[in-house]
Chains A and B, each alone.
Chain A
Amino acid sequence: GAGVSQSPRYKVAKRGQDVALRCDPISGHVSLFWYQQALGQGPEFLTYFQNEAQLDKSGLPSDRFFAERPEGSVSTLKIQRTQQEDSAVYLCASSYTDSHTNSPLHFGNGTRLTVT
């Protein structure tokens, strides 16, 4: 596709439910990043992949958050037993080079998660 695609665009979950958020990066992009953006704040780093390898997951807020990219393309961010504080926009970004070469991030439009 032309850009990074995220689905669903909006997700409402009841507290305690599990959710899965999908990211389709730009074709051929090596690196993929997940960010969380709370209302009125800037994006905060969660985790990143280089191909299928998850190289850094230091930003994941708890063990309820899990991300995977099994074939080095599509990625899924899973949140188990959602809590109200998980309500945020989840942004995915990709770049065409490995993560230690300067290459701008291309962000998707995000998934807005609301936990009620």
Chain B
Amino acid sequence: DQQVKQNSPSLSVQEGRISILNCDYTNSMFDYFLWYKKYPAEGPTFLISISSIKDKNEDGRFTVFLNKSAKHLSLHIVPSQPGDSAVYFCAAKAGGTSYGKLTFGQGTILTVHP
């Protein structure tokens, strides 16, 4: 069973516009959520995270929103830049487990056109 789902395999946006990447989860034991970014032939790199006690976390151009009642989180990138083109993974950690034991979604390929 897929506990973390990213239903959009790909997203294409124009440079300067907003990119919105979505993620749904089913496990109510998840208490910490993260977004990772991955370029081809490289490992994922940490982007931003949010605890389940918050509903928003912002870091520069990146904002993550968490809607616990809907079991949904989203990543907003404003403004989008061509260098943001990558695969984005949503990940979650269950309460009481290691911060490194993550459940990942399948990823969304973001393409930002100049």
Contacts and interface: CB of A to CB of B under 8 A. Distances in A.
Contact of B43 (A45, A100, A108): A108
B97 to A, nearest CB: 8
A2 B25 CA distance: 34
B46 A104 contact: yes
Interface residues of B, number: 22
B63 interface: no
Chain B interface helix/strand/loop/mixed: loop
B41 interface: yes
Interface string B67-108: 000000000000000000000010100000011111111110
Nearest to B47: A104
Contacts, number: 60
Contacts of A82: none
A113 B40 CA distance: 16
A54 interface: no
Given A102-B32, A110-B43, 19 more contacts: A40-B106, A41-B107, A42-B89, A42-B104, A45-B101, A45-B103, A48-B100, A56-B98, A95-B100, A99-B100, A100-B98, A100-B99, A101-B99, A104-B34, A104-B49, A105-B100, A106-B46, A107-B44, A109-B41
Interface of A: 4, 31, 33, 40-45, 48, 55-56, 91, 93, 95, 99-110
Interface of B: 4, 32, 34, 41-46, 49, 89, 91, 98-107
5 contacts: A33-B100, A42-B91, A45-B101, A104-B34, A106-B46
